[in-house]
Chains A and B, each alone.
Chain A
Amino acid sequence: MTLVLPTAAPRRKANFTAYELTVFGVVVALFLLALIGPMIAPADIYTSNMLETLLPPSAEHWLGTDDQGRDIFWRLVAGSRLSLFATVLVVILYSIIGMIVATLATVGPRWVDELLMRITDIGLSLPGLVVSLGIATVLGPSLQSGIIALALTGWPMTARILRTTMRQTMEQPFVEGARILGVSRTRLMLKHVLPNSLDVLIVKWAGDISFTMLILAGLSFIGVGAQPPSPEWGAMISGARGYMSIAWWAVAAPGAAIVINAVAFALLADILQVRRDPSLQA
C-alpha cells in the first residue's frame, strides 16, 4: 500500500535546539518582565527629581535619567507592561475581527463572501499606518485610541489568510462527513472548520506582535498614541527627542527595548514557521 499518511506519524516529541530554547527563554522573560515590572519598579519613576536631570548612564542609573531626573531603566521596566500588553491586545482584537469576517465569508452565501472579501481587499490596499493615524487623531490622542485604531486597520490580512485556509479545510473529507451526519452550519464552523484552520494564525501571531509593537510605538512617537509622561516606550522616545542632542541615551534606550522585543517575536515567528513546516528545516 502506497498511501503517504502524514497524520499517522507519531506526534513529534518536542526536541528543541539551544537556539530555539534561547528565543523561547527571551520571550518568556519579556512577558514575565511585563507582568511584574510595574510592581518592582521604584515609585520615584513617576515623579520629577530636578537634581538628577539628564544624567548619563552610570552604576546608579544604568541607562541614565531623563529631563525630569527619572531613572530610564526603571521607566522601561515599568513601561514594558503597557507596551507589550497593548500590543497583544491589538493583535487579539483584530484577530477576533478577522476570524468573524473569515467565518461569515466561509459560511455565508456567495454574495456575502464577495462583499466581505472586497472590503478586505480595500482594507489591504489602504496604507494602514496613515488610516490608523487618522482614526487615532479623530478619537483624540491616547493609548486607547492607538489600540482601537490599530485593531480597526489590522484585521484584513488575518481575514484573508484565514478565509483561504478555511476554504481548504472545508474541502477535507471529515468536514464533508460532518455534513453528511447532519451537523448544523454553526457547529460545523465552530467544531470542525475553525479549530482546524487556526494553526496558520499561531505563526502569524508572533510576527504580528513584532510588527504591531513597532507601529504602536510609532503612533505614540508621532503623538497620537500614549502621551508623555506615560512610560510607554514610544511615548518615552517622543518625550525625549527634544533633547536628543544632549542626552542620546534617553532616546536610544527605549528604542533598543522596542527593537529587542520586536526581534525576539520575529525570531519566535520564524521558529514556529519552521516547526510547522518541516520542509523548511535545514
Chain B
Amino acid sequence: MGVDTILTDGIVPAQVRRRPESLLQVDQLSIDIATRDANVRLVDNVSFGIGRGERVALVGESGSGKSVTAQALMRLNSRVKLSGRVQFDGTDLLSLSPRQMTAMRGQRMGMVFQDPMSSLDPLMTIGDQVAETLRIRGVSKREARQRALDVLDELKVERAAERLDSFPHEFSGGMRQRVVLAMALVGEPHLLIADEPTTALDVRVQERVLDLLDEISRRRSLAVLLITHDLGIVAGFADRVMVMYSGRIVEENEATLLFAEPQHPYTRGLLEAVPRADITVDRLRSISGAPPAPAARPSGCTFHPRCDHAMAVCTSVEPGETITPLGARVRCHLYGEG
C-alpha cells in the first residue's frame, strides 16, 4: 500500500491529469450573514469539486471562512444566507427541504467538528451515540449496536465491545476523537467533512488519528474534505489542497505541486513562515500585518496590504481565476493574462 501511495503522486501535466469522477461540485458559493449593523459576506464566490474517494484539504487561518463553508455544505447553519450551487452526487443540496437534507446528512455525508468534547453528549453511552444515526434511520437496535461496534473496531478502539457502555468522560482526547469519527462514519457516507479533527490533540495522537482516516478513506473509497490551518498535516494526507484567505480560495493545486511550487504570494508566504522541526533556518520569513475581518476586507485583492508583490492594479481590481502552466488555480494578478 505504501508503494502505491507514493507512485500515484508523480507530477503529471495538468492537461493529462485524470480527475476522479465528481462527487461534490460547488459553484460560486457565497455565504452572507446579517449582523446588527450590516450584511457581511463571510465567503465570497467559492468554487471547487471533490471526486469520489479523493482527499482534499481546505487550509486557511482563523476566521478565513473554513468552518462556515463546511457548515454550508451540510446546511447546518441556519443564520447564514447561501447563494450559488452545491451539487452532491447529482442532487442540488441548496434546494432540498430540511427533511431531505437531514436524510442526506445521515447517510451520504458525514461531518466531524472542531471540538470533540462538545460534539459528544456527556450523559449518553458511547455505543448509543455512535448507533444513533442508524437508529434514526430505523435500523434495529441490535444491528445498530453491532455496526457501531464494527466501526469502533475499524477505528482501532481497543476493547471496543466493553467500552460501548462507557461515557465520554472516561475516554482520553484521542479516543474521544475516534468516537466522533465513528459517529460520522457509521452511516457509511461517501463524503466526510472533517473540520480541524486533530487541532486539540498532541502530535503523536494527531498522527494516529490521521493514519486511521487515511486507511479508512482508501479502504472505503471515501472522499474526505479535511479542514485545517496546519499545512504540515495536509502534506502527508491530501491529494489536492485549496488555500483560503479571507473568504476566498486563492490557490488550488495537487498537493505535491502546491508544496513544491506554490504560486500565490500568500501560499508562498505561509510555507516560508512555518518553522520546521527538520531543518534549522536563521530567520523565518514573516508576512506583515494580520488577516482582515470579513466586515473590513480590503478592496481589490484582499491580500494586497500584506503582499510583497502588490501592484497598482491590486488595490482596486479583484483578481480573477487563472490556471497556471503547473495546473494551479490561482487568484492573483501576477498570473493574469492581462
A–B direct touch in complex (beta carbons closer than 8 A): yes
- Interface of A with B (CB < 8 Å)? 1-3, 10, 12-13, 15
Q: Is the CB of A2 within 8 A of B114?
A: yes
Interface pair B199/A2, CB less than 8 Å apart: yes
CB of B177, distance to nearest CB on chain A (Å): 13
Q: Which residues of A contact B293 (CB under 8 A)?
A: 10
- Taking beta carbons and an 8 Å cutoff, which residues of B are in contact with A? 36-37, 61-62, 114-115, 196, 199-200, 229, 293
Q: List 13 A-B contacts (CB under 8 A).
A: A1-B62, A1-B199, A1-B229, A2-B115, A2-B196, A2-B199, A2-B200, A3-B62, A10-B293, A12-B36, A13-B37, A15-B36, A15-B37
A1 to B115, CA, bound (A): 11
**Minimum distance in angstroms from A281 CB to a CB of chain B:** 11
Complex Cα–Cα for A3 and B62 (A): 9
Q: Which residues of B contact A1 (CB under 8 A)?
A: 61-62, 199, 229
- Which residues from chain B contact A13 at a C-beta distance below 8 Å? 36-37
Taking CB atoms, residues of chain A closer than 8 Å to B200 are 2
Bound complex: CA of A12 vs CA of B37, how far in Å? 10
Inter-chain contacts of A15 with B (CB < 8 A) = 36-37
B interface, by DSSP: helix, strand, loop or mixed?
Answer: loop
A18 nearest CB across to chain B (Å): 15
A interface: dominant SS: loop
Query: In the complex, A15 Cα to B37 Cα: how many Å?
Result: 9
Query: CB-CB < 8 A to B61: which residues of A?
Result: 1
Q: How far is the CB of A121 from chain B (nearest CB, A)?
A: 34
> How far is A156 from B114 in the complex, measured between Cα atoms in Å?
44
Report the separation of the CA atoms of residues A157 and B196 in the bound assembly, to the nearest whole angstrom: 45
Interface centre among A1, A3, A12, A15 (most CB of B within 10 A): A1
Measured between C-beta atoms, what is the minimum distance from B73 to chain A in Å? Answer: 19
Query: What is the bound-complex CA distance between A24 and B44, given in angstroms?
Result: 40
From residue A108, how far is it (CB to closest CB) to chain B in Å? 38
Q: A2-B115, A2-B196 are in contact. List 11 more A-B contacts (CB 8 A).
A: A1-B61, A1-B62, A1-B199, A1-B229, A2-B200, A3-B62, A10-B293, A13-B36, A13-B37, A15-B36, A15-B37
Q: Point out the residues of chain A lying under 8 angstroms from B114, CB to CB.
A: 2
Q: B residues within 8 A CB of A12?
A: 36
Q: Which residues of B contact A10 (CB under 8 A)?
A: 293
CA distance A12 to B293 in the complex (A): 15
Q: In the complex, A15 Cα to B38 Cα: how many Å?
A: 12
Q: Within the assembled complex, what's the spacing in Å between the Cα atoms of A6 and B164? A: 37
User: How far in angstroms is the closest Cβ of chain B from A219?
Assistant: 44
Which residues of the partner chain B approach A3 to less than 8 Å between Cβ atoms? 62
